[in-house]
Structure 1
């Protein structure tokens, strides 16, 4: 099975990639379109030059690998995608050949975390509008809502939600998904030193989150805009 997991930044996405990598039967790919996205937009992301130098900047070649042979001869192929990378010029037809899952998180939490690492983020940078668009595309082409999982529910009950997710995907759950070695994964993108410090210190999912952060000014206004997209997907989330 090829699993395309769609989220924005700061959304438990790396921990989820580690969980699937820990299964032993699953190859993983960290943000396949990141290099192409930066090459096409010229955005000044941290480690911009290194990301382009070490990644594939031809999006058609990326798409071919996403639907080609599973790396390492594994049974499953987990693809960690960032919704904001799916700009014009990035192909989408390959999505019809994978199982698409949407990982959501309250925008106040996303923005508070992302803004601490990236100066003056925009709504496009955090991917909520793009996530809703991709969700609609999959729903229209398959005739049903795709699987949605909320990061807060995973942190509240990792085993329960991963069991629920695996059942929705039609694959077996294994307790190995609940932990991983400290220090990162060999498949981490070159950008890991900037973004993955917390998950590199971890050996499993963090516990439940506290109250929502209080945002002000432009961050509060952006949260309100993003909230409308989050609330469209929220009713479709898996629940225990």
Structure 2
């Protein structure tokens, strides 16, 4: 699953992780991204120290056998992390899906956690590029789901996503245990407070938020790429 940040990406990881047939991995390229870019993100030094930061080594692991032998391996990836020599083309045997969210909502969520962001932090431009690469490879569009659609109808959207991915729908995906989970990256102590308080998907969002000018500019820089992806989104 290729998702921008602040896109209910961790809730989606929780959802798939609730399945008895699924193993999940949390942003395996995050350490490599931080080491490559020096991006001053919260807990950056701790994340680098905790993770395999070699691009090719991580990619090889992600292409390998599922660590616990589960038949499904859900990998939560962030397109904006992919600043090294690895990209979506290095995973031709993987079924790829794309999780999107209106950039105004993403920027508003980021504003609560960071003092500044750039358009590339939302990852939408590379997300669109990867979508187009995968569409060209397959000859048809891979699945796209929008966070607002999921929050309006979690069961319906997830059932359709599972169908597109060629796996059985499992209602256990609608709930999970509260608190941190063992598979969470160590950055969860900073970023995952809301999802750690949850036991399922949240309420549908209201109207689009107002933004400070600097966040408004970032959101609008991502608008065209988001809307291009949204034309392919799965609907209930």
* TM-score, normalised relative to structure 1: 0.96
Report whether the alignment pairs 1:43 with 2:74: no
Unaligned runs of 5+ in 1: none
Aligned length: 236
Q: Which residue matches 1:224?
A: 220
Report whether the alignment pairs 1:18 with 2:9: no
The farther-off stretch of 173-182 and 216-225 is 216-225
Structure 1 segments, 4+ long, off by >4 Å, are: none
* TM-score, normalised relative to structure 2: 0.97
Report whether the alignment pairs 1:100 with 2:96: yes
User: Does the Cα contact within 8 Å between 1:11 and 1:103 map onto a contact in 2?
Assistant: yes
Unaligned runs of 5+ in 2: none
* TM-fit CA distance, 1:225: 1.5
1:127-171 Cα offsets, whole Å, 9 max, x none, are 111111111111111111111000101000111111111111111
User: Distance in 1 between the 2:60 and 2:89 partners?
Assistant: 11
Q: Which residue matches 1:153?
A: 149
Report whether the alignment pairs 1:86 with 2:86: no
Partner-residue secondary structure (3-state), 2:126 = helix
Q: Which residue matches 1:173?
A: 169
Q: Which residue matches 2:111?
A: 115
User: Does the Cα contact within 8 Å between 1:23 and 1:174 map onto a contact in 2?
Assistant: yes
* TM-fit CA distance, 1:92: 3.8
Query: When you count strand as a share of all residues, which structure comes out higher?
Result: 1
- For residue 212 of structure 1, the aligned residue among 199, 208, 211 is 208
